[in-house]
A and B are shown apart, each in its own frame.
Chain A
Amino acid sequence: MRLLAGICGSFPRPPALRRAFDELEAGRIGEKEFMDILENSTREVVGLQENAGMSVTTSGLLMWHDLLRPFAVKFSGIEPRRLLRFFDNNFYYRCPAIVGRVSWNGPVTMDEVRRVKRYTTRPVKAIIPGPYTFLKLSENLFYESEDLLVDDLIKALRSEADVLGEVADFLQVDEPSLVDPELGRADRMRGIDIVNELLSRVKIPGEKVIVATYFDLDPEKYSLLLELKAGLHVDLKSRVEAAREALMEYGFDGKLLSLGVIDSRSIFPEDPREIVYRLSPILDAASPETLIFSTSSWLDYIPFNEAVRKLDALGRVLAEAEVRFG
């Protein structure tokens, strides 16, 4: 089993970039100055990941206001509108209003992935929202049939996935709605069909794609997720016991599994040695070819300095695991 480590998605914006967003909006700095700060911030965040021992890096999604925003802005037919709560977090996203035919208008995050590649030689993971979560978190004001909207969302996301596949080493498709506790089994099964439809159309091979779920997991939901035709990321921290039970009951015999072992929504100190010790029974049941240790979800829910501590803890989990399971 190959062991890797990498964060699930975003990293909090470094203070300089946080200020630069406000300065740009207020007209106190120009686009060029902002882009210089973004470049430096990307280098800083990539450097933090490398120093902490991450074997897979991300851009930190530093420009993303929320999971859907870059796509809601760049795709045709969508306008980001009212603020809504993002699942059970004290974090809000702008609901994409579907106001016309959805289509891809050119790369959305390709530059961001290229920017990361300038600062690391390690594998880079690109991230896109999945079609089911996009559908569930949007408001359809245009399509007469939801199936038609799903079809166009899949086409647009597939185009993005294909261009990202040319530059990224892994592609993560974020699908928190697949484990949304408010949805029933039938909705979940439909969601899995929709995601599999996207996966069947992308050019990137399945062993390089991870469908990421977070904020919940239990045996019933997990048993359905195993139908996904790709690697899988699961959150082991939001519902600790239910998630452990799921993994131990159903195992994992796919190629790529990412385990969210570091809690991305809490700053309570975590002991890497204990985390690895508690993973033993899970790894008796699950034996992927590649196992990625990760954060349970994005790191946007904690302050920057705490996220740096989480990175360090994640790096130490990998080091401990290499001794124990490597």
Chain B
Amino acid sequence: MSYRPPDKLKTTVVGSYPYFSEALKAFQLRKKGQRGPEYESLVKEATRRAVEDYINVGLDIIADGEQRREDMAVFFAEELGGFEISDLVRIFDNVYFRKPVIADRITWIHEIVFGDWKYASGISRGRPVKVTLTGPYTMYSWSFDKFYGDPRKAILDLAEALRKEIEALVGAGAAYIQVDEPAFSTRAEKSDLEIAEEAFEIMFEGLDNVKRITHICYGKLERLFPAILDFPIDQIDLETKNSNYKVLDLLREYSFDKELALGVVDVHSSRIEAVDEVIEGILRGLEVVRPDKLYVKPDCGLKRLSREVALAKLENMVKAAKKVREELA
């Protein structure tokens, strides 16, 4: 079955979707080290339900919903060679998490997200399925390093490891690869961005037949410009609704000519944005980027919302994009 996305204002998601009960059960099995057929079938069912919701709501480019990943950094740390998981570290109040620890040289040892992408692509009714990977800079920033002692070496090894996953995906036909780098906007200095740019070159060198995307959110997006414009990427996916589209002024200032994936609904609020409110956001994006280069999507992953709220937000987002598309025609 084939599906032809519209030429203008394609709708998409950042990646994650609210966890289905099957995913929550799978997390429990995973914690006990039970990753057998029962675990796989639970993840598959959760992925199927996420894909169904994405298709039914009318998105043009979907994702697998990240139903296998309880945490975006810990999941990759558990799948890559060289990582351990630390004892508990406080994150706020009396709430703790286990932070990845780089304890040895980082290596790719097996496929990480390939299987879920392949499965989602098989049931997507022709819609492209975007792959989402936690980026090397973010993986490093959100881990303890007790092996390298040199961010550059660690980040470039992470990039080499992810490159292997990307090669497998592109070889199998993945057309949209998104590298999530939320840590860019919290800590990155100029020298960090230089290392990150090298990492992106490693991950994407020679891969021209794929849409290369980076997703960045929450923090000081302005500190990324203009350095991020030199990255070997085709599309920048930003959180913009929550920060009142402030970053658009910067894009205008730098004559931004890459594709822009614009966040038009807030994923940290359960308020459902009205269609007109979403249209207003899209129109603001169109002041900076041509409609064929503008993608419409939520600010970030949807996993913290309830399924009902996530669906309602996506529904209004799809309606708004359609309405603007019609007006443009």
Residues of A within 8 A of B (CB): 12-13, 18, 21-22, 25, 65-66, 83, 85, 88, 90-94, 182, 266-269, 300-306
* B90 in contact with A300 (CB, 8 Å): yes
Contact partner of B88 (CB less than 8 A), chosen from A83, A90, A303, is A303
Most buried by A among B86, B144, B145: B144
A94: chain B residues within 8 A (beta carbon): 92-93
Q: A65-B93, A66-B92, A300-B90 are in contact. Are A267 and B186 (CB under 8 A)?
A: no
27 contacts between A and B (CB under 8 A): A12-B89, A12-B90, A13-B94, A18-B88, A25-B94, A66-B93, A83-B92, A85-B186, A90-B91, A90-B99, A90-B142, A91-B91, A91-B92, A92-B92, A94-B93, A267-B101, A267-B144, A267-B146, A268-B145, A268-B146, A269-B146, A302-B89, A302-B144, A303-B86, A303-B99, A304-B88, A306-B87
Complex interface: chain B residues within 8 A of A22 (CB): 94
Instruction: State whether A93 touches B92 (Cβ < 8 A).
Output: yes
Q: How far is the CB of A149 from the nearest CB of chain B, in Å?
A: 25
Whether, in the assembled complex, B271 has its beta carbon less than 8 Å from a beta carbon of chain A, the answer is no
CB neighbours (8 Å) of A305 from chain B are 87
Query: Would you call the interface of chain A mostly helix, strand, loop, or mixed?
Result: loop
B219 surroundings in chain A (CB, below 8 A)? 85
Over the window 136-154 of chain B, the binary record of Cβ atoms lying under 8 Å from chain A Cβ atoms (1 yes, 0 no) is 0000001011100100000
Question: Which of A13, A93, A268 has the most chain B CB within a 10 Å cutoff?
Answer: A268
Contact among A18, A85, A91, A269 with B94 in the assembled complex (CB-CB below 8 Å): A18
Q: How far is the CA of A183 from the CA of B143 in the complex (A)?
A: 27
Q: Which of B54-113 contact A (CB under 8 A)?
A: 86-94, 96, 99, 101
Q: Does B30 contact A (CB under 8 A)?
A: no
Chain B residues with CB below 8 A from A302, complex form: 89, 144
List the B side residues contacting A13 at CB < 8 Å. Answer: 90, 94
Contact B92 A268 (CB under 8 A): no
Q: Is B220 an interface residue (CB 8 A)?
A: yes
User: At the interface, yes or no: B187 with Cβ under 8 Å from chain A?
Assistant: yes
Q: Which residue of A lies closest to B218 (CB)?
A: A85
- Measured CB to CB, the nearest residue on chain B to A86 is B92
Q: Name the residue of chain B whose CB is nearest to the CB of A19.
A: B94
Which residue of the partner chain B has the closest CB to A80? Answer: B93
Q: How far is the CB of B25 from chain A (nearest CB, A)?
A: 23
> Chain A residues near B93 (CB, 8 Å)?
65-66, 94
Known: A302-B89, A305-B87. A21 touches B142 (CB 8 A): no
A18-B96, A21-B94, A88-B186 are contacts. A301–B145 as well, Cβ < 8 Å?
no
B106-161 residues at the A interface, CB under 8 angstroms: 142, 144-146, 149
Asked if A266 meets B145 with Cβ closer than 8 Å, knowing A88-B186, A303-B86, the reply is yes
Knowing A88-B187, A90-B142, A266-B145 are in contact, say whether A303-B92 is a contact too (CB < 8 A).
no
Shortest distance between the CB of B2 and any CB in chain A (Å): 43
CA separation between A303 and B97, bound complex, in Å?
A: 10
Q: Name the residue of chain B whose CB is nearest to the CB of A181.
A: B189
- In this complex, the member of A21, A302, A305 whose beta carbon has the largest number of chain B beta carbons within 10 angstroms is A302
Bound-state Cα–Cα, A85 to B93, Å? 12
Closest 9 CB pairs of A and B: A303-B87, A92-B92, A21-B94, A88-B187, A267-B144, A65-B93, A268-B149, A268-B146, A267-B146
Minimum CB distance partner of A269 in chain B: B146
CB–CB B144/A65 < 8 A: no
Name the A residues within 8 Å of B146 (CB-CB).
Answer: 267-269
B270 to chain A, nearest CB (A): 15
The CA-CA distance from A246 to B307 in the complex, in Å, is 52
Q: How far is the CB of B45 from chain A (nearest CB, A)?
A: 32
Q: How far is the CB of A276 from chain B (nearest CB, A)?
A: 18
B19-44: which residues lie under 8 A (CB-CB) from chain A?
none
**B residues within 8 A CB of A91?**
90-92
Instruction: Determine the distance from Cα of A46 to Cα of B143 in the docked complex, in whole angstroms.
Output: 29
A92 touches B87 (CB 8 A): no
**A25–B95 alpha-carbon span in the complex (Å):** 12
Once the chains bind, are A301 and B92 in contact (CB under 8 Å)?
no
How far apart sit A65 and B95, CA to CA, in the bound complex (Å)? 10
Not counting A25-B94, A300-B90, A301-B90, a sample of 9 additional A-B residue pairs whose C-beta atoms are within 8 angstroms of each other reads A18-B96, A21-B94, A90-B99, A94-B92, A266-B145, A269-B146, A302-B89, A302-B144, A304-B87
B217 to chain A, nearest CB (A): 12
CB distance from A31 to the nearest CB of B (A): 16
Interchain CA distance A302-B186 in the complex, whole Å: 19
Residues of A contacting B186 with CB < 8 Å? 85, 88
Instruction: Report the separation of the CA atoms of residues A218 and B93 in the bound assembly, to the nearest whole angstrom.
Output: 31
Q: 1/0 per residue B269-293: CB within 8 Å of A?
A: 0000000000000000000000000
Q: How far is the CA of A25 from the CA of B99 in the complex (A)?
A: 25
Most chain B CB inside 10 Å of its own CB: which residue of A12, A25, A94: A12
Taken together as a complex, chains A and B put the C-alpha atoms of A12 and B96 apart, in Å, by: 11
Look across to chain B and name the residue whose beta carbon is closest to the beta carbon of A303. Answer: B87
CA distance A58 to B149 in the complex (A): 30
Chain A nearest CB from B17 CB (Å) reads 23
> Cα distance A95–B309 when bound, in Å?
27
Q: How far is the CB of A250 from chain B (nearest CB, A)?
A: 22
For the complex formed, measure the closest distance between the CB of B33 and the CB atoms of chain A, giving whole angstroms: 21
Residues of chain A contacted by B90 (CB below 8 angstroms) = 12-13, 91, 300-301
Smallest CB-CB separation from B95: which chain A residue?
A92
B3 CB to closest chain A CB (Å) equals 39
Q: Which residues of B contact A25 (CB under 8 A)?
A: 94
